[in-house]
Structure 1
Amino acid sequence: MLKDFENYLKNVRKYSLNTINSYISDINIFLEYLHIQKLNYKDVNHEVIRSYLKYLDEKKYKNSSINRILSSLNDYYNYLTKCKVTKYNYFEDINRPRKEKRLPNFINYSEYMSLLAIVEKEENEFLKARNLLLLEILFDTGLRVSEAVNIEINNINKKEQSIKVLGKGNKERIVYYGDYAKNYLEDYLNLRRNINIVDKEYLFLNKNYTRLTRRGVEYLISDISKKALLRQKISPHTLRHSFATEMLNNGCDIRSVQELLGHKSLSTTGIYTHVTNEVVRQEYLKAFKR
């Protein structure tokens, strides 16, 4: 039934590959737990679920991760119930743990420039050009890393300086890039013209000239940030947070930021207003000492 559910997510719900993989991973972990407990997936009831939640808590899972797992299992058992494989979905009755309120971490412009300075030291001209463009696109557009690695050259409008991207739930949106990214893009594309490329349609390539992966970007950003000796650990998502914070700090309307980030709900974007308010508070405390 799990394979059927996977096909349902792909063909009916139209979920992205990353989302489907997350669902399947969550479900497989639960099925493995049931196997250890000598239980069948049809044996699930409130008691079994509470026992599993206790197990996750003991394994130090964060509330946000537990909520995601419960959501995956709820959808799976909804599917099983509709297919009449199980009689009732007990996950519907389970209260979700309260989500931790964490402000997103971000870097300021001077810290971002220190990342570019590290990339400028790269001796391989192709990798230097690619990494400069990659950093600028992430910082300049707020794209998710999964969206960035799937950028196709045909979806770049050089005249409008815009990119059509495929976001969560296979929803398309348009993002825009500035003049720095425009120049980095031209340099990078010029270098690509003399290379025998395998995945020609994709913008970002690895050193073997095939499509750059999400994991590859995460490793790259982490490595660059370590060399830059920044005050915090940097991930691709940090650059997304930084984009949103910069936009709001510079007076951009929150609904425009929501659209650019591809957030379904305005409340998701709203967390960045807390970040900008905290920046204002810190500046006030530094300036107004009594």
Structure 2
Amino acid sequence: MGGVPPGHQEPTHGFAVTPGGSVVSLERTRHKYLEAIALFLRPNTVINARTALTNFLRYMGAHHPHVSSFSELQRDHIEGWLRALAHRPLKRSTRRNLVIKLRVFLETIRAWGWSEAPTGPLFRTGDLPPEEKILPRPLSQDTDRALQEELERRGGIIHNALLLQRMTGLRSQELMDLEVDSLRRLPGDDWALHVPVGKLHSERVIPVDAATVRVFQRILELRGDPPALAHPETGRPTHFLLVRPSGRRYSRDALRYHLDKIEKDLRLSEHPSPHRLRHTFATEMLQAGLRMPVLMKMLGHRTIGMTLRYVKITQEDVRRGYLEALAALKERYEIPLLPVSTRPQTESPDPKAILSQLLATATTLESYRRDSTSEAERKSLQRIVERLRKLARDLERSTP
């Protein structure tokens, strides 16, 4: 129904089903809406809408069984549903999604002029739970190195797939959706990985190095030549990269299983989840000097704000580099108490170069701040820019 895969069951989120004529009437409107949006929206979007509407209808059946049309809804009904959601053991992101989908449904059927639609808006600005601020969690260098060495040593198809994820920063589902011809040769001796349509409904091509090409080719050797499978979105015969010898596709659970096993066997001090491999790749690229607009494209982020989360991680690197530079300057210009050694001294970092890098970073972030449409993001960037400029002024004063 409504573009939803057969047999799919949406989660109830704790509301019991209460049968009744009024609920059946609301269900007809829900069904008509799902059938309509299935014509132009992706199946997963339809599933999410179906889940939210089912949740709301079950609440209405249990608490307001007399309501027989969405046109009868009042603000009190929405507030009661929001309070019920708040008392359920749901993640904040889950509550946000349910609220957004119901709001979109009510606004859409009003815009379409359906007779079952409410007469006016029922949601207010404060109804939406705030987004969770989840910072990236890259692995430490020691854990990252030990994990990559162990994946190389074990050498199975999923071990190599995890190495590929670490080397490219792919999302887990993007990794599972790669096809055997996703690795493309560019003019010259360069290679790129074609990433299929994924989480944000867009595809991209990212450059890869020779080591990544070797990992991809090892996976091709390990997978053999199983028959093509029907693509779940288009139905076309597709040779997916990560396929079992039996011909069945691997799931994302296989990634987590092998990482959990390595964590246990090596007694790692950190939990290396698949998404942390993506965080580690992104943070490493940023620390190596990759410009944020380029990293944004490589990660498949829709806005620079998504990529700027990684800047917060690297502020500690800026502070550490600044303190190391000050220590080097102090050692360089301090009058020695011991006789000068005849051996050549190690060259100290150039303070002018460090100063230039700090100012350049501040200027880049300032340009992003001006272009940002989020007030909270602009304030956060302003604080970062001010700290960087203060570091630059302190360093300039300490340099003769």
Tell me the residue number matched to 1:139.
166
Tell me the residue number matched to 2:131.
99
Q: Between the two structures, name the one with larger relative contact order (CA 8 Å, sep ≥ 6).
A: 1
1:6-21 to structure 2, matched below 5 A, reads 6-13=34-41, 15=42, 17-21=43-47
Q: Specify the code of the residue in structure 2 equivalent to 1:86.
A: A
1:1-290 to structure 2, matched below 5 A, reads 1-13=29-41, 15=42, 17-39=43-65, 42=70, 43-83=72-112, 84=114, 85-88=116-119, 90=121, 92-95=123-126, 96-120=128-152, 122=154, 128-159=155-186, 160-164=190-194, 165-193=196-224, 195-197=225-227, 199=229, 201-206=239-244, 208-281=246-319
Task: Encode CA deviations 1:183-213: one digit per residue, 9 max, x unaligned.
Answer: 12222212333x5445361011246332222
Structure 1 position 6, deviation (Å): 4.1
Q: Which runs of 5+ in 1 are unaligned?
A: 123-127
C-alpha change, 1:137 and 1:75, in structure 2 (3 Å) is farther
Task: Encode CA deviations 1:246-267: one digit per residue, 9 max, x unaligned.
Answer: 1111111111111111111111
C-alpha change, 1:157 and 1:94, in structure 2 (3 Å) is same
Cα distance in 1, alignment partners of residues 298 and 222 from structure 2: 29
TM-score by length of 2: 0.61
Cα distance in 1, alignment partners of residues 215 and 124 from structure 2: 52
Find the residue that maps to 1:102 and give its secondary structure: coil
Cα distance in 2, alignment partners of residues 226 and 25 from structure 1: 37
Cα distance in 1, alignment partners of residues 275 and 307 from structure 2: 14
RMSD: 3.1
Structure index of larger Rg: 2
Percentage of matched positions with identical amino acids: 23
TM-score by length of 1: 0.81
Q: Which runs of 5+ in 2 are unaligned?
A: 1-28, 230-237, 328-400
Find the residue that maps to 2:181 and give its secondary structure: helix
Native 8 Å contact 1:74 1:89 kept in 2? no
Cα distance in 2, alignment partners of residues 154 and 4 from structure 1: 40
Cα distance in 2, alignment partners of residues 108 and 225 from structure 1: 14
